[in-house]
Amino acid sequence: MNKDKEIEALMHGHLSIPVIILDKYQQVGLNETEAMMLLHIYRFGQISVPLPTPKELAEKMSMDENECAGCLRSMIKRNLLQIDEFERDEIRQESYSLYPFFRQALTAEVPSGEGDQIEEQHLFQNIEQEFSRPLSPMEWETINVWLDQDHYSPDMIQIALKEAVMNQKFSLRYMDRMLHEWKRKGIQTKEDAKAQTEQFKQKGGRRTQAAQSEKLPEYPNINWLDEE
């Protein structure tokens, strides 16, 4: 019975990974072995091992250390993987980044409608530019969900981005709430979204003016220290 509980616990354990790795690895020229290595690299990053060695990867895969090293070099050479530098506790460190893979996966997404692909690519670039940082894998996945599952148009997402930046809210969560609210109200075009945003600002301005115009109640000028 204890064994059954152990197996059940293992079945409930899970790894959260960007679905785009599984969906798009073939389109960017990766084979199954290379895709599995990317997943292991991603997993190592989640357990605070940002730059796993070929030996550490070989212990997880059906390849020896030299084969893992060759696979890493190949993906770096093909611009599907890169090594970034960062500082932690004033110590310079290195980490693998899947950022190049996500770039290529995005450009490989469009079998038809090249214009849509370019528009979506610009969307990702604009968000990174406005946030002044690269998007994380989970943020890439969030935006893909907006486009593929929620069917938000790039124009609507761009407007949400503009509003987020104007309000100093550099967060996809903030944008997601805005997009969800627009969808709830049936707002589907950028013109309607702009009108809704302007209407909200005008209401906010009127409330502020009303609050400022309220007069404080007048009280008699009494010196409470004067007993007479």
pLDDT digits (tens, 9 = 90+) for 28-47: 999 999 999 999 999 998 88
Mean pLDDT for 157-172 is: 91
Of 164, 97, 101, the closest CA to residue 130 belongs to: 164
Q: Which CATH architecture has domain 114-213?
A: Orthogonal Bundle (1.10)
pLDDT number for residue 212: 54
Q: Is the pLDDT of residue 128 over 50?
A: yes
Q: Is the pLDDT of residue 18 over 70?
A: yes
Tell me the C-alpha distance between 84 and 146, whole Å. Answer: 28
pLDDT number for residue 138: 79
5 backbone dihedrals φ, ψ, rounded to 5°: -65, -35
Q: Is the pLDDT of residue 58 over 80?
A: yes
Mean pLDDT of the chain: 80
What confidence tier does 191 reach under pLDDT thresholds 50, 70, 90? confident
Q: Which CATH architecture has domain 2-101?
A: Orthogonal Bundle (1.10)
pLDDT number for residue 74: 92
Q: Where are the domains of the chain?
A: 2-101, 114-213
Q: Is the pLDDT of residue 173 over 90?
A: yes
What confidence tier does 13 reach under pLDDT thresholds 50, 70, 90? low
